[in-house]
Chain A
Amino acid sequence: MIVIRLEDLLYSAPLLVLTSSGLLALIAEAAGRDKPVISYYTSLIGVITSLILTFLNLGAGVPVFNNMILQGGYAAYCNLIFLSSALLSIVLSRSYLERMQYHRGEFYVLIVFATAGMMLMAAALDLTIVFLGIELMSICLYVLAGFMRKKELANEAALKYFLLGAFATGFLLYGIALIYGTSGTTNLVVISRSFAQLSGNSLFLIGCGMLIVAFSFKIAAVPFHMWAPDVYEGAPTTVTAFMSTGAKAAAFATFVAVFVRVFDIPGTALSSVLALIAAASMIVGNVTAIAQNNVKRMLAYSSIAHTGYMLSGIAAGNAEGEQGILFYLVAYTFMNIGAFGIVSWVEQQEDRKLKFDDYAGFSARQPAVAVLMSVFMFSLAGIPPFAGFFGKYYVFLAAVKADMTWLAIIGVMTSLVSVYYYLRLVVLMYFCEGESDVAAKVPLAAISAVTLAAVLVILLGIYPSLLVDMTKGFFKI
């Protein structure tokens, strides 16, 4: 029996290159003391190489390693999201960590390993890989959340995230055990073939329910969202950027991979459960965000609301919803990472300059940065012609087509609410007097990263078909 074929290695080159670069960075860190820059460049080169290899791999998806993972196609598309998120986070982190005096090489190693975990989550064709990918990503994120060890809020964030995350893992494993027990296999392709018979089995449905709980925790959907605001606030800002984009996209990618591509949810009871979670996330996220005074907390609640929008695409379960959510993930990744990037420039040591008022009169001193921030805020609010608008348009259209008009109405109403808190920041920047400025000179690499994100947000808002056409063939296994 041939265990590994050469094609397996070639198709999964993006994953292997990325993991190797993480290992190399770790060795470099151990050998060259106090030179985190080596680790920075090693991981940067790894991520960029992996990105290029992924572009070459965008064709049809191929199952590799004994049908354990899918490479190319859907997996490659998702990898582009994770790798861009990792790339931007790494670039933004260097100056931020240097300023906060926590610049350590292990930081980049953990980001790279977490990204490898995300790539596994999106590629998984087997429940064991789903589990291992989620754990690889989460364990790195627990540590990254508490990376600023001397900060009390960071410790609280790491501990809270770890304990609740371990609980979610328990749900995931029980769910997998029940699904394995009823279907006799952990392979998603095999399960998908016998889904029609299995969906009548109550133990199997309980297993699916437990998977929904575990995934909802990872995407921070109401009522499993309690950790998100505290963790997003306590973690280093660039890690929050990485968590709220890459990690969320990865959790959504597995959600779609398991519940849309394998388990045919439309029409089953699971579909209405997802619709309810989506509605609750949109309402709770948007309404609570209004009351926030800390920009990081506001963005945390806004990310809960965006989870709700994206979940309505999954709940609808039709082609528009599936393509819509994949488009939304890209749009959301760039606008959110850009916003967090700018927050990380303004922030000062000991959590200062994180309040809304610290942005008053920002445009007078930093006109260019204020324009970038406004682009991200308008896009997050879903105002055309930015990418955020089309993301919402597709998922709400999907909900209407799936006879869930009530869900679309809740979505539009809560989006209106969200305009208030996004634009509040813009109004403060342009129409109020204040002394606000960036904390230190921002390096060119970080500026170009955020500018790139803004350009993509505008470009995808004008030509959404660039991506949407790409995603058409992704939903057949």
Chain B
Amino acid sequence: MTLQSFLFYLLAVISVGSALLMVTRRNPVIAALYLILNFFALGGLYLTLHAQFIAFIQILVYAGAIMVLFLFVIMLLNLGDVKQLTERVSYKKIIAAGLSFALLMEMLYIFVYAPSDLPTSRFEQAATIGTVEYIGKQLYTTFLFPFEVASVLLLAAIVGAVILAKRRLN
């Protein structure tokens, strides 16, 4: 077994395992922590696919920013009665289960009966365009104008957030 496939299996086991643990936990904080672990494992998988930039963004944005938001919301909501959340059977659950089953069957069908229909891997191309260097170069040459526009967008968002959240206006 090469190092690469060893890493793949290791990260795959971690991500599937943490995903399963996440949906089966009763305590929302622990579930959120397993989700972070899942994000890290996914980030590792992106790295093995030569997508450095996406790997870092995955960890920075998802495992960093979004998870902090999740945890804050969970703590602010102060979910005391966890049972109430978990023990309600509704039609939504049945529909969700049905849809998940259909998706699972589709995936199994494709992998078992028609693997040739899957898109071919563009591994070599990914290795050149997935690097931080390449993306940075593009961002400061071809996409310089959108990059500058994004700065105005962020400024507008900050100003807006301050206006709406400031305690006293005058």
Instruction: Known contacts A104-B169, A132-B150, A136-B152; decide if A3 and B141 are in contact (CB<8 Å).
Output: yes
Is A113 in contact with B144, judged by CB distance below 8 angstroms? no
Minimum Cβ distance to chain B for residue A54 (Å): 18
Is A300 among interface residues, defined by CB-CB distance under 8 A? no
Chain A, residues 90-134, CB within 8 Å of chain B (1/0): the string is: 000000000000101010011001101100100000101100110
The closest CB in chain B to the CB of A109 belongs to B159
Q: Please tell me if the beta carbons of B153 and A129 are within 8 angstroms of each other in the complex.
A: no
| Assembled-state Cα–Cα distance A26/B155 (Å) | 10
Chain B 132-170 residues near chain A, CB threshold 8 A: 140-146, 149-150, 152-153, 155-157, 159-161, 163-164, 169-170
A149 touches B164 (CB 8 A): yes
Rounded to whole Å, the gap between the CB of B7 and the closest CB of chain A is 27
CA distance A147 to B159 in the complex (A): 12
Complex Cα distance A22/B107, Å? 52
> Is the beta-carbon distance between A110 and B160 smaller than 8 angstroms?
yes
B residues in contact with A291, CB < 8 Å: none
* B159 and A128 contact, CB distance less than 8 A: no
Q: How far is the CA of A130 from the CA of B153 in the complex (A)?
A: 13
Chain A residues in 8 Å Cβ range of B143 = 66, 68, 128
A321: Cβ under 8 A from any B Cβ: no
Q: What per-residue 1/0 map shows which CB atoms of B93-118 lie under 8 Å from chain A?
A: 00000000000000000000000000
A66 to B163, CA, bound (A): 35
On whether the beta carbons of B160 and A126 are closer than 8 Å, the reply is: no
Known: A3-B140, A104-B163, A106-B163. A140 touches B146 (CB 8 A): no
Per-position contact with B for A56-77: 1 when CB-CB < 8 Å, else 0?
A: 0000000001101100000000
Number of contact residues on B: which range applies?
20 to 34
Question: How many residues of A sit at the interface, in one of the four size bands?
Answer: 35 or more
A-B pairs with beta carbons under 8 A, tally: 72
A20 CB to closest chain B CB (Å) equals 11
A414 contacts the other chain (CB 8 A): no
Contact B140 A146 (CB under 8 A): no
Chain A interface helix/strand/loop/mixed: helix
Q: B146–A113 contact, CB under 8 A?
A: no
Also in contact, A147 and B163, with CB within 8 A (given A135-B153, A140-B156):
yes
A132 in contact with B146 (CB, 8 Å): yes
Inter-chain contacts of A1 with B (CB < 8 A): 141
Given contacts A104-B163, A104-B169, A149-B169, whether A110 and B156 have CB atoms under 8 Å apart is yes
Is residue A158 contacting chain B, with contact meaning CB distance below 8 A? yes
For A69, list chain B residues within 8 Å (CB).
Answer: 145
CA distance A66 to B147 in the complex (A): 13
Closest partner residue, chain B, to A143 (CB atom) = B160
A34 within 8 A of B: yes
Q: Residue on B with the closest CB to A104?
A: B169
Determine if B156 and A126 form an interchain contact, defined as CB atoms under 8 angstroms apart. no
- Given the complex of chains A and B, what is the CA–CA distance between A26 and B141 in angstroms? 29
Q: Contact check: which of A26, A128, A143 meets B146 at CB < 8 Å?
A: A128
Contact (Cβ within 8 A) A4 B144: yes
Which A residues from 1 to 47 make CB contacts under 8 A with B?
A: 1, 3-4, 19, 23, 26, 34
Contact present for B142 and A66 (CB under 8 Å) = yes
CB within 8 A of B153: which of A3, A126, A136?
A136
Give chain A's interface residues, CB within 8 Å of chain B. Answer: 1, 3-4, 19, 23, 26, 34, 65-66, 68-69, 102, 104, 106, 109-110, 113-114, 116-117, 120, 126, 128-129, 132-133, 135-136, 139-140, 142-143, 146-147, 149, 158
Interface positions of B (Cβ within 8 A of A): 140-146, 149-150, 152-153, 155-157, 159-161, 163-164, 169-170
What are 16 residue pairs bridging A and B, where the CB atoms are less than 8 Å apart in the complex? A3-B140, A3-B144, A68-B145, A106-B163, A110-B159, A113-B159, A120-B149, A129-B145, A129-B149, A132-B146, A133-B149, A139-B160, A142-B160, A143-B159, A143-B160, A147-B163
